[in-house]
Amino acid sequence: MAHAVADHTVTDADLPFGVDIDLVTGAMAAPDRVLVRRASDMKGYYKDAAALDRLIAAGDPVHYEVFEKVIPETYGHLLFCISKLYPGRVGDECFMTKGHYHTVSGTAETYLCIAGTGYMMCKLSDGSCRAEPMRRNRMVYVPPHWGHRSINTGFDPLISFCVYPAEAGHNYGDIAVEGFPKRVFIRGGREVIE
């Protein structure tokens, strides 16, 4: 059923709905989409390419998963998801997501970290870089124009509840070419950001 409200037409996709999300485990009930990225999806992202190849040969573990509901990707809607980044190292570099800019660059995002420890590495195209700590119950705000990737420095999954404008889109290509100015390593039991 469609009916007009103000200046746009509301369809069934606009009906209110609820989703059960366990904010301890990050489990989303009945997600519409689950994105799974394995080590083999991460070629070119880590400093030590040989270490990544060894990890792929040793079983190609899951790196991260994203659980989502399908929502129209148009202005006015909000997308939300659970992002779950597993712990691990590629050589001595901490597991991380690919990272992206939003295609509609002027769109922000909030990440409410519900478990784990790590960083939200943020960068502007001019090379500015900020590593914002992530830990349980801390919300990280990624302003418009900042590329962003999660990095897991701990031994448990780094889990966040993310919300962003539905029209944002994801630009992986520019980040894949540019990289981030800083990476996070664990050396001798200590975090090294360089």
101 versus 185: smaller Cβ distance to Zn ion: 101
Both tokens of 191, joined, read 């975090």
Q: How many CB atoms lie within 10 A of CB 46?
A: 20
Q: Which stretch binds Zn ion (CB under 5 A): 56-64, 102-110, 111-119, 183-191?
A: 102-110
Interface map 60-99 toward Zn ion (x if CB under 5 A):
----------------------------------------
Identify the burial level of 135 via C-beta atoms within 10 angstroms of its C-beta, where 0-12 means exposed, 13-18 middle and 19 or more buried: middle
Is 99 in contact with 193 (CB distance < 8 Å)? no
The whole-angstrom separation of Cα 112 and Cα 68 is: 15
Q: Which stretch binds ligand F6R (CB under 6 A): 9-17, 18-26, 97-105, 117-125?
A: 97-105
By CB under 5 A, is residue 109 in contact with Zn ion? yes
**Helix or strand holding residue 64 (H, E):** strand 62-68
Q: Which of residues 100-159 bind ligand F6R (CB under 6 A)?
A: 100, 109, 148-150
| Sites of contact with ligand F6R (CB under 6 A) | 66, 81, 83, 97-100, 109, 148-150, 162, 164, 170
